Structure 1
Amino acid sequence: MRKRARRASMLAAAIAVAATGMFVAAPNASAGPSDVANPGFESGNASWHEKVTPFAGHPVNNSSAWPARTGTGKAELGGQGLTGMSRISQQVTVPASRVPVLSFWVRSDVVHSGASGFGFRQLIVEATAEDGTPYELHDRMNKGGTNGSYEQVTVTLPDAFYRSAPQKVNISFTVIEDAANRMPFLIDDVAMEYRFKRIDRPVTIPGGIFRPVGG
């Protein structure tokens, strides 16, 4: 009698699960190391495209005036004391059927510039899909600052970057500034991790598990 009652209970539970559409989630997992080239800028501006306007200069440097988080190389965006824009970018290939997750370390000190107070500086991090559509991943102003230390930012790219075929993606870090504040945004140790997508699958009941119980 107990066996019969236990099997009947299991069958009822299984039918209830199937009827309510309950799902079991596939686990998240890493799918290989980052393919960002020269992620810590230790090889200078190798693999990174630099653009500064209207002034000249190289955002990627190893100046000790603004130290790197690790090693000696880092990207120093802004801090020119002029109205303009500084940008670094790199193209990476997102593997098929993987979710790209970007991480980087940023430092943005804050100083008062006399009567002008906080200068305007804005960091914008974008990913541009293969079709040319840009997606803003992260932005911040210099007013908050990071108290003289680096902090890590991690962001999962939108669904537009999850495809059944590999996709070339451009990652960019841009700083727009005015002439009031010469403090730069510092970027170091950039990485792109690829994960398996979380997929919810319906629970299925294998045939032959539940058999009629004879009287």
Structure 2
Amino acid sequence: MKAMFRKARIATSALAAAAVVGLLAAPAAQAAPAGVANPDFESGASGWNTFSLPFGTGIITDDPALPAHSGTWKAELGGHGRPGMDRITQQVTIPALRVPVLTFWVHIGTPTPATFGYHELTVEATAPDGTPYTLASRTNKDSGSGYQQVTVTLPSAFYSSTEQKAVISFFSVDDAANKVPFLIDDVSMAYRLKMSRPFFPPVLLKP
């Protein structure tokens, strides 16, 4: 009888542990209930706020001279050949008890002429209290062929027990040394469960 009791306790503890591990091992990423609007820019500037100084408009473009990652439209920041700044922003909704993960594709054009100068792209997320957090940055020294995927997890300031808003922004600053555009396309947000260490119930053994 004691042996049967011991086996039952071990089986119960094993099932409980398996359930916890199974829960944590389940797919963590979930479809965004309120993701990025117009993530591939195929609807032009819809869903995005744009700012360009002193160049005016034209940040989101279907210019075939610089192909998009997918489709025909993309955001083109910088590369004007004179000092200035470009910025695109969008407010997103972060569900309660979810860790937000930002993914985007970036292509940094080859400098023309091939001198370094100063050209920088900064990706930021602004928390509800107005604090900006730098998620990623690139310069003209990172130029290369083709698009590169960038995935970054937002810091703990964007994790909350209640739903909250955040502003995602892509911001470029460049000088007149050369024309180096930063191309942004296919921006997406995923929301993951916060991972924690599994809890294994103690196994109680009786003699």
TM above 0.5 = yes
Q: Name the SS for the 2:29 alignment partner.
A: coil
Percent identity for Structure 1 against Structure 2? 50
**Superimposed CA distance per residue, residues 99-121 of structure 1 (whole angstroms, 9 cap, x where no aligned partner):** 0000000000222527xx22311
TM-score normalised to structure 2 length: 0.84
Larger gyration radius, structure 1 or structure 2 = 1
Aligned to 1:166: 163
1:142 corresponds to which of 125, 140, 143: 140
Q: Counterpart of 1:97 in 2: which secondary structure?
A: coil
The 2-side partners of 1:112 and 1:71 are apart by: 26
Residues of 2 paired with 1:110 and 1:61: CA distance? 19
Q: What is the Cα-based RMSD across aligned positions, in Å?
A: 2.4
Question: Which range moves more in the overlay, 119-128 or 32-41?
Answer: 32-41
- Pair 1:85 & 2:85 matched: yes
In structure 1, the gaps of 5 or more residues are 15-22
Report what 1:30 is aligned to.
Answer: 29
Structure 2 portions without partners, runs of 5+: 14-19
Q: Which residue of 1 aligns with 2:151?
A: 154
Whether 1:47 aligns to 2:47 is yes
- Separation in 1, partners of 2:73, 2:54: 24
Question: Does structure 1 residue 129 correspond to structure 2 residue 122?
Answer: no
2: CA distance, partners of 1:26 / 1:41 = 35
Q: Deviations over 1:105-147 (max 9, x none)?
A: 0000222527xx2231100000000110000000011112122
Measured in 2, the distance between the counterparts of 1:125 and 1:111 equals: 21
Aligned to 1:104: 104
State the partner residue of 1:69. Answer: 69
CA contact (8 A) 2:100 2:158 kept: yes
1:183-209 CA deviation, whole Å, 9 max, x = no partner?
210000000000000012432226xx6
Cα distance in structure 2, aligned partners of 1:94 and 1:43: 23
Q: CA–CA distance in 2 between the matches of 1:119 and 1:48? A: 29
TM-fit CA distance, 1:53 = 1.0
Count of aligned positions: 192
Q: 1:182 aligned to 168, 176, 179, which one? A: 179
Distance across 2 between alignment mates of 1:105 and 1:57:
22
